[in-house]
Amino acid sequence: MPHFNTLSYDDADSELKEVYDDIITSRGKLAEVHKIQSLNPEALVAHMDLYMATMFGKSPLKRYQREMLRVVVSVTNRCNYCIEHHEQALLAYWKDGEKTELLIFDRANLNLPETDRQLCNLAEHLTRNEGPDYAQYVQQLKNTGLDDRAILDAVQIIAYFNFVNRLVLSLGAEFDEEEKKGYNY
């Protein structure tokens, strides 16, 4: 349960209800991560716009790679709510529960292509802020064949999901089993 009052769909005024309806249309349902932002509909809309651009916009990164980055950031931050959500999304692409579990619990023993391995390393190091020189990580990604746009997209996804993890962890969003069903991936 969130650490403060939020507005459910039934309690929302017309402006928030419109925002909620847009989220339900695009995502399939309303999640706790949306409801914890209900007191500021304008920021919630901006949040969703950034989410849609980074996760579903045109990018050289494959969709599974974007989902994989979400999982690694959430695991690194120990954000159980987001791990649950993103694990389900990644499963929609990988269709391999064992592989997904290894990503979460034992990534060192997961046989990933070099590009994916380097993307995961970048996600972990940026999330932990293990700099100060990130140029080596960028160069390692370039060495795998990723171009500058793909690297930019990866960093934006990593930064965005660190933001979401902080919202969820600090405001107390909790995952329930019903949230596993009905999302549009």
Domains and CATH numbers, the chain: 63-170 (1.20.1290.10)
What pLDDT does 181 receive? 54
Confidence of residue 184 (pLDDT cuts 50, 70, 90): low
The pLDDT of residue 180 is above 60: no
The pLDDT of residue 173 is above 60: yes
Each residue's pLDDT tens digit, 97-145:
999 999 999 999 999 999 999 999 999 999 999 767 888 889 999 999 9
pTM assigned to the model: 0.89
157-to-20, 39, 66, 109, 145 alpha-carbon distances in Å: 23, 25, 7, 24, 19
Give the mean model confidence (pLDDT) for residues 167-184.
71
Half-sphere exposure of 15 (CA within 13 A, CB side): 8
Q: Who contacts 56 (Cβ-Cβ below 8 Å, separation ≥6)? A: none
What pLDDT does 153 receive? 98
